[in-house]
Amino acid sequence: MGTLEKHLRERRDSGRKLLMPYVTGGITDDWLDVIRAYEDAGADGVEVNIPFSDPVMDGPTIQAASDQALRRGTTPRTVLSELRGLDVSIPLIVMTYANIPFRMGYRRFVEECIQSGVHGAIIPDVPYEEMDAWEEAVGDADLDTVMLASPISSDERLAKLTARSRGFVYGVNVLGVTGERSEVGTWTADLAGRVKQITDLPVVMGFGISSPETAAAAAAPSDGVIVASAIMRLLLDGGSALEAGAFVADLRRAIDGV
């Protein structure tokens, strides 16, 4: 079992809801401080985005965050090399689109992730049908590939993608792209329940979680939440790493009360 999965299972099994905030690598000069602030605020892992020019699963906020990072000269190598010196104890999961590792070469990309202390990878435009080459490149490296489950995935697809997922299963709360929404819809409990019936991997829900209330609502039927756009909007609006940390602390309190 990979480091990421072991860590998340232990925390989940201790009765804790998992909280995984997201940061766009290179969004600001002090983006590594944002990750440190997440840890201080009680995050259980951090999703680190390597920005891509054409993020089709992302709404306007993450697009703007990606654009800002790219304009600052961010590349896959700058993100991964800056992570090398990072002194946090919670696991890091990179999230990016297929062309980024494809261009670098899957094998090389995996090596660079390992050298940077990354323990998981999320590539939303690589469904399991397209996953063989990537899995082969990962081999027995300590890098868990996290698969996304959609509210409209058939039972058959859920079984197959769950079987190939490592670390956790990323449950998508909505039909649609990332972005803040005022409430968690009916898909969340349904999908979390369906996935939990077929696996004991942690099931962490993301997309549309914008507040302590929505975080608590999505964490209740699942093992935890991923929060991205709400924090990236705060940073895009000039908010500091400490303010991002304070928001994550609010989310922590909300899901601890579930």
Partner 1 sequence: MTTTPTAADSIMGDVPDGRFGRFGGQFVPETLVGACQEVEHEFRAAWADEAFRGRLDGLLRDYAGRPSPLTLCDRLSDELGLRLLLKREDLNHTGSHKINNVLGQALLAQRMGKKRLVAETGAGQHGVATATAAALLGLDCVVYMGAVDMERQKLNVFRMRLLGAEVRSAETGSRTLKDAVNEAMRDWVATVESTHYCLGSAMGPHPYPFMVRELHRVIGTEAREQCLALDGRDPDVVTACVGGGSNAIGIFSGFVDSDADLVGVEPAGGAAVGRGVAGIVHGSTSFLLQDDHGQVQEAQSISAGLDYPGVGPEHAHLAELGRARYESVTDAEVLDAFQLLSRTEGIIPALEPAHALAWVSRAREELAGKTVLLNLSGRGDKDVAQVAEILGEL
Query: Residues 14, 89, 154, 182: which binds partner 1 (CB under 8 A)?
Result: 154
* 221 is an interface residue for partner 1 by CB under 8 A: no
CB of 136 to partner 1, least distance (A): 15
Matching residue, tokens 């697809």? 157
Rounded to whole angstroms, how far apart are CA atoms 214 and 201? 22
Beta bridge partners of 205: 171, 225
Query: Which entry of 44, 47, 180, 223 is annotated as an active-site residue?
Result: 47
- Residue 104 within binding range of partner 1, rule CB under 8 A: yes
Please report whether residue 57 would count as binding partner 1 according to CB under 8 A.
yes
Q: Is 63 in the site for partner 1 (CB under 8 A)?
A: yes
Binding-residue total with partner 1 (CB under 8 A): 41
- Residue 199 CA to residue 202 CA, distance in Å, equals 8
10 given a catalytic annotation: no
Residues 6+ away with beta carbon under 8 Å from 18: 8, 11, 12, 44, 45, 168, 202, 204, 223, 224, 225
The whole-angstrom separation of Cα 26 and Cα 75 is 8
Q: How far is the CB of 56 from partner 1 (least distance, A)?
A: 5
Residue 58: active-site member: yes
* Segments in 139-211 forming alpha helices (H): 155-164, 187-198
**Of these residues, 5, 44, 58, 223, which one is catalytic?**
58
Instruction: Give me the active site residues, please.
Output: 47, 58
Residue numbers at the binding site for partner 1 (CB under 8 A): 52-57, 59, 63, 67, 70, 75-77, 97-100, 102-104, 124-127, 129-130, 147-154, 157, 161, 172, 174-177
